[in-house]
Amino acid sequence: MIYEKKLTSFPEIVKELSIMDLDAGIRAVGKYKTKKCYVFVSRSANGFTSLVYSVKSSKKESLPDKRILAKEFPDLKAIEEFLAEVVAKPVKASAY
């Protein structure tokens, strides 16, 4: 069973990042270089990994499409600064 927790504010995202296990992640809707995107963040042994995917829209839903960016961040402060620029407002995110 997959557990997802809805996140509706940036401070909630930062809190989840600070307690994230290696098998957990966060997915958020964002905007990267003027393109709507999905941002996925996971924890790694060396910090955090973020993957940014463009959005493919169908009639019923939006889905991740092509990877735009893959980047490693050494600590919570670095990933927080990146996400502050990328995550769309209002925040639409999930922790899983």
Backbone angles phi, psi at 66, to 5 degrees: -95, 140
pLDDT at 82: 98
Q: What tokens appear for 74 in the block?
A: 């050494």
**From first to last of its 96 residues, what are the pLDDT tens digits of the chain?**
678 999 999 999 999 999 999 989 999 999 999 899 999 999 988 899 999 999 987 777 788 889 999 999 999 999 999 999 999 999 999 999
Separation between Cα atoms, residue 42 and residue 39, nearest integer Å: 10
pLDDT at 1: 60
Strands, E assignment, 1-96 = 5-7, 25-32, 35-44, 47-57, 62-73, 93-95
